Structures are given as C-alpha cells and as structure tokens.
Amino acid sequence: MNIKDKMRKRLKLNRPSLRARARPPKHRSVCGSQFSAANLPGILQLQNCTDCGHVQYPPAELCGACLSSTLIYRETPCTGTLLAQSQLHHSLWEYFKRRIKKAPWPIASVQLDAGPVAIVHLVGNSFSTGDRVKVFSHSDASRSVVLLAVPESESIDTPALRRNIVDTIQLDQFAEHQQGI
Amino acid sequence: MKDYGGVVLTTPISMGYARQSPHGAAWFVGSVLREMISAAGLTKKDVDGFSVSSFSLGIDSAVALTQHFGLCVRWLEQANVGGVSGILALRRAARAVQCGEADIVACIGGDGAAHRSFENTAAHFSSWSTDAAFPYGAAGPNGPFSLITAHYMERYQAQREDFARICLDQRYNANHYPQALLGHKELSLSDYLNARPIAGPLHLFDCVMPCAGGEGFLVMSEDRARRLRLPAVRILAADECHNAHADDPIQDRGGWTQYIESLYDRASVGPKDVDFLQTYDDYPVISMLQMEDLGFCKKGEAPDFLNKTDMRFDHSGPGVDKLPHNTSGGQLSCGQAGAAAGFLGVTESLRQLTGQSGANQVAKAQTGLVSGYGMVNYDRGICTAAAMLQGVDA
C-alpha cells in the first residue's frame, strides 16, 4: 500500500464511531474549567457573590444579579426539587451514542434550594416531577466535572459513596468499541 | 413608539435548501443577494444597506462578505440571533430606511450544512450551553426542549396527539410548497405517533432537520418600491423582548407577553383579524407557547385550541376555526437552515401577502402575524420577536 492509500484509509477510519475509546465532551469555557477545578473537593461548590449573596450557575465571569466581579466558589446546599426529566434516545456525541445503545440516558432539570436551575445526569429511573433530590458534582471520564442528581434519601456524604453512584452509570469509564482504532 | 410608515418589505427569496451541502454560508448569502437584486431589477450599486445572519460564517463577518461580493454599503449589520434574525433584521433595516441612513437594505440569513457541522454548532453554541447543557447527554437542542415539552405536557395535560395537529397540518402545507425538503412525503397520525423516540416526549417528527439554505428580503421606501413596480408589504407594528421571565424555573411562556397587547393596539389588528400566523416551530410545543402568548388562546389551552382549529393554508381540514399556520410547512417540514430559519416566517409572509405564493397561496391573504423565538443559551430560548405585516394593496 502506498502512502496515499494509507493516508486515505487513515482518514476514512479516523472518525469517532470507529475509535476504541469514546469520552464525554471535555471542552469547557474558561469559567467552566474553573468550575471543574473548584468542584474537585466537596459535594457541590457554586459561585457566590460576596457583594450581594447571589448564588449562580452556570458559572460566569460576573454576578448576574449585581454585575460585581467578586465571585468565589463556596460549598452550597445540594438539595433541590426535580422540575422535569427526560430519557435521551439520541445523541450527537459518540460516548453517549454508545451508552444509549444499551439504555436511554436520563437527564433532568433541578431547581436547587440555593436558587439556580441545573441540568443534571439523573441516576435512577423512578423519579417523578416535584421529587426532592440531592445534586452533587463529580468528574467524568474526560476529567471534567458534571452534576448528578440522586433521591434525597441517598447518602452522598463521602467521596467513596459518590464514586459508587458515578460507577453505577459508568460515567467515569470510557465507552469502549471492540476492534476500534 | 414611532410607526414604520413609508417603509416596505419586498422581494422575498428562499433558495438552496439541501440536507447537506459542500457550500459555505457565504455561498448561500451571496446567492440570495444575486437572486434578490435580479428579481427586483436592481444592481449591486443600488444596495447600500446589508444585514446578515448566519451561524456558519466561521471567522468571517458581515463586513468580510461585502468584500467577497463587491458591495459598498453605508449601513451594515450582523444579527446572529437564530430564530428572531428575520424580525430583528426587518426592524433595524426599516428604521435605517426611515431615517435616511440607507435607501435599500438587503436582509439575508443563510447557513451551510457541511458533513457533521451540526454536531459542532451544538457543541459550541454558547459558553453556558458548552459548560452546563451539552455535557449532559450531548443531545443538542433536543435536551432542553425535551424538558420544556415534558413540563408543558404534565402541567397542562397536553398529549402527543395535540402536538401532532401542528406537525400534520404543516406537512400538508409543505406538500404544496416545492422547496420544503420533506414536502414530497405525506405524514399520517400513525406515522407521527409510531416514530422513533428521540428525547423524552419528543419523537422524530417533533424535531426539525438541520439543513442548508438561504432566505432574504429587501427593505426600501414605499415610493421606491412603487417606482420599481415591486409588490410590497407594510410593517404595521413589530416588537422584540429578550430574556423575559428569567425567574420562571422552566419555560412555559416567552417575552411576547410583554408587548403583544401594545403591538395589536398599534397595528389596529387583533389575533382574530389575521389571515395567517407564522410561528417559529423548532418544536411543536414552542409554536403552542407562541399561540398562547400571542393571544390566540389562553395559557395552557393550546391543546384545545389546536383540536378545533384547522391550520391548513387552504382551509381544507376538519377544524371549525380556520387559522392558516406556517403555510410553507415551517421548519418541521422545510428543514432548519440555521439562522435562515429565523427568516422563514418573514419571507413566507411576504409571498403570501403579495400573492406570490404558488400552490400554497392562502386565499385573500391581507394581514399576517409573524413570530420569532430563539437562541437556547442554556435551558430555554431567550429571544422573542413579533411583527404584524400587511400587503400594500390591502
């Protein structure tokens, strides 16, 4: 095989669906990366405004209430109420495509008691609207931090407990493809 | 607010619709411009205002396009606001013409659809979406809208059959509009209900198909249009409001509520008097929110309203009340050509109000309402706009 054919074959094979390991979306904005860094320890750290006390999510450069720039990450109460949930049967990202092949992927929006609304990975299938939930942060297989929601009754106090929950939905593992390149 | 007297919209162009295209956004914007000036009997020199909306220009901006197309303009705008692009463009351009800042403004929305480009647009749509929505299943807009739809269905007891009313009547309209990408296929209720699931309550026919395409129109003085013998349309009233009701935990209304009464007042036309309605139909539930917020029915009553309303362009459906809706099939049947989708309702209204529609002409259409919605920055669409349009001869 000459170089040209070799390159052509490479190009043909170098697509997400043929790769051995797929990861969740890694890219984040600068604020998003800071959110990931702030959330490595603890259950849930959100931006708090030291001027007006506003708690905000998604992360931004300025306080959405008073436009002050004195935002710091603080441990935030992790309880909230489930607003709506949905099972994804289709995704644009190879990692989720592989997961969805096995079972639909549940997501939800949660009104946190601290104020903001968060879109989260929902762990479990027996939720209904208005249920009380706990939301915690954890790194995924791309080493970016994402939020997960579990029933309020579930204990998430130690890192080991939270890691076990993440393990049940395999969010910390690559989605593998046998014979992938 | 000062009215838009003396200014008209003319020369609607819709072209180049394709599921996938090797061409970039500049090709679509420029091709619309070419078709537009040739249809209006103008030359490039006559166009002194240029408004561009596109998601896929990449590192180019509107001003780069003036050099590409050899245009010299004294008024330039780039309005990348998705589903309200068309109405935003017409409002800005009408004021520019009214104030003498430009004589003829070409308002164009155009987007390409390269292989796998949609995935890229969705992944990098906004910083909040990248940080806090896309990582959760990477469903693109289907994710947030499945949550909005699930919430609406639960709160107002809406059924999938109610959403089907919108999709089915729009497909009928598209069957009579040659450019609609899905217009060659009929859609039955059982097709709709048995479609494969996409996200929560959303199934295949609730979701728009991303595609390539270009849409545009010209804005000029009424005198100029008359001299050029161009059929034209007046703006009776137009408004916009962005990021309204930000404290609602999940969206079931939009910014239309902030201005719609005043808009009807200024236009001296109410929802009962319009000959058609064009809504932004990225998902059927969003058309329903618009019908409610624009005063066609009360909040939460859209399912009832749809079941007794015939939305076909030719009034051939069984519904007692008649309201032609998205008469070209909307995005659900035409395809969603990026920012051009925000122009779809405007160009279709211009064709209807000037009698230039072909097989899908609404009989005796004189007045129509167009509404826009867009930009899912995080968990909801935050832009809204609406315009009441009337044919000049009406």
Q: Check: CB of residue B45 under 8 Å from CB of residue B233.
A: no
Query: Has residue B394 got a pLDDT over 70?
Result: no
CB contact under 8 A, A86 and B146: yes
* Phi/psi at B233 (5° precision): -135, 135
CB contact under 8 A, A118 and B151: no
Give chain A's end-to-end CA distance (angstroms, integer). Answer: 18
A37 contact B CB<8A = no
Strands (E), chain A: 21-22, 45-49, 55-56, 71-75, 79-88, 105-112, 117-122, 132-139, 145-151, 175-176
For B309-335, write each residue's pLDDT tens digit.
999 999 999 999 999 999 999 999 999
pLDDT at A124: 87
CB contact under 8 A, B119 and A92: yes
Residue of A nearest to B196 (CA): A89
DSSP conformation class of B196:
P
Q: How near does any CA of chain B get to the CA of A70, in Å?
A: 19
A18 contact B CB<8A = no
CB contact under 8 A, B138 and A91: yes
Q: Check: CB of residue A24 under 8 Å from CB of residue A142.
A: yes
pLDDT at A155: 96
Q: How far apart are CA A28 and CA A59, in angstroms?
A: 11
Strand ordering across the sheet containing A71-75: A55-56, A45-49, A71-75
Q: The tokens of B165 are what?
A: 């009313």
A87 contact B CB<8A = yes
A121 contact B CB<8A = yes
For B269-311, write each residue's pLDDT tens digit.
999 999 999 999 999 999 999 999 999 999 999 999 999 999 9
DSSP conformation class of B336:
B
Report helix, strand or coil for B115: coil
Residue of B nearest to A35 (CA): B131
Q: Identify the residue among B119, B125, B127, B136 best suited for mutation to test binding to A, counting A beta carbons within 10 A and taking the highest.
A: B136
How far is residue B273 from each of residues B232, B366, B388, B389, measured CA to CA in Å? 20, 10, 11, 12
Domain ranges of chain B: 7-116+212-232, 139-208+233-391
Q: How much of chain B, in percent, has pLDDT values that exceed 90?
A: 96
Q: How far apart are CA A29 and CA B20, in angstroms?
A: 29
pLDDT at B122: 92
Contacts B132 to A, Cβ<8 Å: 32, 57-59, 118-119
Report helix, strand or coil for B176: coil
ipTM comes to: 0.94
CB contact under 8 A, A107 and B151: no
Q: How far apart are CA B217 and CA B352, in angstroms?
A: 14
pLDDT at B149: 98
Prediction pTM value: 0.95
Query: Has residue B75 got a pLDDT over 80?
Result: yes
Q: Check: CB of residue B334 under 8 Å from CB of residue B328.
A: yes
CB contact under 8 A, A31 and B131: yes
Query: Has residue B96 got a pLDDT over 80?
Result: yes
Q: Check: CB of residue B241 under 8 Å from CB of residue B253.
A: no
Contacts B146 to A, Cβ<8 Å: 86, 88
CB contact under 8 A, B136 and A121: yes
Task: Give Cβ neighbours of residue B21 (< 8 Å, ≥ 6 apart).
Answer: B27, B112, B113, B114, B212
pLDDT at A2: 81
A65 contact B CB<8A = no
For A102-155, write each residue's pLDDT tens digit.
999 999 999 999 999 999 999 988 899 999 999 999 999 999 999 999 999 999
Q: Check: CB of residue B206 under 8 Å from CB of residue B283.
A: yes
DSSP strand pairing (B367-376 vs B276-278): parallel
User: Has domain A23-176 been given CATH number 2.40.50.840?
Assistant: yes
Q: How far apart are CA B183 and CA B174, in angstroms?
A: 5
Q: Which residues of B touch A (CB under 8 A)?
A: 118-119, 122-124, 127-128, 130-140, 142-144, 146-148, 150-151, 154, 196-202, 249-250, 378-379
Backbone CA torsion sign across B270, B272, B278, B283:
positive
- For domain B7-116+212-232, give its CATH number from 3.40.47.10, 2.60.40.10, 3.40.50.20, 3.30.1360.120: 3.40.47.10
Q: Check: CB of residue B19 under 8 Å from CB of residue B211.
A: yes
Contacts A82 to B, Cβ<8 Å: none
Strand partners, B217: B107
CB contact under 8 A, A86 and B151: no
Strand partners, B282: none
pLDDT at A19: 84
Exposed/middle/buried for residue B98 (C-beta within 10 Å: 0-12, 13-18, 19+): middle
Q: DSSP labels for B68-88?
A: HHT---SEEEE---GGGHHHH
Q: How far apart are CA A98 and CA A119, in angstroms?
A: 21
DSSP strand pairing (A55-56 vs A145-151): unpaired
Contacts A11 to B, Cβ<8 Å: none
DSSP strand pairing (A71-75 vs A45-49): antiparallel
Q: The tokens of B155 are what?
A: 């709160």
Q: Check: CB of residue B293 under 8 Å from CB of residue B373.
A: no
pLDDT < 50 stretches in chain A: none
Give chain B's end-to-end CA distance (angstroms, integer). Answer: 24
A3 contact B CB<8A = no
Cis peptide before A58 (omega within 30 of 0): yes
Q: How near does any CA of chain A get to the CA of B55, in Å?
A: 18
Q: Which of B253, B259, B280 is nearest to B375 (CA)?
A: B280
Q: How near does any CA of chain A get to the CA of B378, in Å?
A: 8
**How many residue pairs from chains A and B have C-beta atoms closer than 8 A?**
121
CB contact under 8 A, B139 and A107: yes
Q: Which of B372, B63, B381 is nearest to B239 (CA)?
A: B372
CATH superfamily of B139-208+233-391: Thiolase/Chalcone synthase (3.40.47.10)
A85 contact B CB<8A = yes
3-class DSSP string for B41-60:
CCCHHHCCEEEEECCCCCCC
Q: The tokens of A104 are what?
A: 């639909």
Q: Where are the alpha helices (DSSP H) in chain B?
A: 25-40, 62-69, 85-98, 117-123, 127-132, 142-156, 160-174, 189-193, 222-227, 260-267, 284-293, 302-308, 330-334, 341-353
DSSP strand pairing (A55-56 vs B7-18): unpaired
